[in-house]
Amino acid sequence: MATTPQPTERRADALSKARIVEAAIALLDAGGESALTFRALAGRLATGSGAIYHHVADKNDLLAAASDSIIARIVGEAGATPREAIRAIAAGVFDAIDDHPWVGAQLHREPWRPAMLQIFEGVGSQLQALGVPEPAQFDAAAVLVNYILGVAVQNAANARMQPPDADRTALLAAVAARWTQHDPAEYPFVHKVAAQLPEHDDREQFLAGIDLILVGISGLGR
């Protein structure tokens, strides 16, 4: 009775949005999007499924918050030049999807979410530093962000088709094998590229695409 507990004190294991998001990320990383259920989450947090709704609005809110949390870790990657800074942002998103494929499917929904805003702001501010004229900056940023997120979605879809431990070459070889099953007369270009698919480095190809777009952007202001 000498010591009364401080009323603002909370149990160390009290629920919070941060703890819920952390547990959700663990489930998503371990088993993909289908592994995140409110029952599994409640089990991992040792609570009832209804308790989660006191901290997140619904499953969509939970997925978006988890995605924001992953992307927030990769911002602020500086570079010596604007071009290098844009490359660093792009590579950061690419690698984040590599580690957390389920994020790729979340980046587009609700474009006012921190994940989208941070990527757009990061790219756009570097375009200003690059000297892209004001009227062209919006178009230029839109091209880069749409390309970066498009590749993110593709990588997320690829990861969903394979067991989590499958390597990149095996996945690409499987896609190439499917491509060559079609009629070569109908898809000659697809057949030609299928041979290059398994051994190509898709991270390198992605960054080569960033460079190519930056070349096109540098021609905007002439």
184 binding DNA? (CB under 7 A): no
Read off the DSSP letter of residue 195.
T
Task: Candidates 31, 49, 179, 221: give the one binding its own copies (CB under 8 A).
Answer: 179
* CA dist., res. 63 & res. 69, Å (int): 10
Q: Which does 151 bind (CB under 5 to 8 A by kind): DNA, its own copies, none?
A: its own copies
Q: Which stretch binds DNA (CB under 7 A): 43-51, 93-101, 128-136, 206-214?
A: 43-51
Dihedral of the alpha carbons of 59, 60, 61, 64, in degrees to the nearest 10: 120
Number of Cβ within a 10 Å radius of residue 2: 3
Task: Candidates 27, 36, 52, 140: give the one binding its own copies (CB under 8 A).
Answer: 140
73 contacts 21 by C-beta, under 8 angstroms: no
Dihedral of the alpha carbons of 139, 144, 145, 150, in degrees to the nearest 10: 120
Taking residues 193 to 212 in sequence order and writing x for each that binds its own copies by CB under 8 A, - otherwise, the string is x--x---x----x--xx--x
Binding site for its own copies (CB under 8 A): 108-112, 117, 120-121, 124-125, 128, 137-143, 146-151, 153-154, 156-158, 160-161, 175, 178-179, 181-182, 186-190, 192-193, 196, 200, 205, 208-209, 212-217, 219-220
